[in-house]
Structure 1
Amino acid sequence: MAFKNEEDKKAYWRENLTLMTKLLLIWFVVSFGFGILLVDLLNQIQLFGFKLGFWFAQQGAIYVFVALIFIYMYKMNQLDKRYGVDEE
């Protein structure tokens, strides 16, 4: 389960950090952007009887965070297989 060479190791970690950066940016936009900055604009839209800005601040950001955890797990399994460092 070791990398074949140093270049693969660097490429693996570069892709890992790129993926984490993208997912954290999505989480930031959803939690801070939708839940705080755009709350007044989003509150004009109703979702299941609740204002959308309120929903993102109270529940939506948590749902997105949990979804991002599963996306990260799926993408990292693909990345591990591509570089030959998977657990199987």
Structure 2
Amino acid sequence: MVLQKVKKVPQRKCIACQERDSKKGLIRIVKNKEGEIFLDPTGRANGRGAYICRSSECLQKAIKSKALNRAFKMEVPDEVYEHLLVELKEYE
């Protein structure tokens, strides 16, 4: 009898609503070495990552609670939030 090893599904937590989901179910926001902040749909870009649900409500909640500021240990400019909202619309 051969036992097949069950592959673990990586879990991540949304920084806005604190819900846990599979890594693929959430979308990654990255801050790279140059300080640029952008959505990373592949989940493989270099840099510090924070995960968020694929909904603009969760991004709005993260903006209101300054969750990205805490995740990236910096003040995130409003233009970046606006850009992220526009980008996220493509993945909803």
> TM above 0.5, one fold?
no
Task: Name the larger-Rg structure.
Answer: 1
TM-score between both structures, scaled by the size of structure 2: 0.30
TM normalised by structure 1 equals 0.31
Higher strand share: 2
User: Which has more helix, going by share of residues?
Assistant: 1
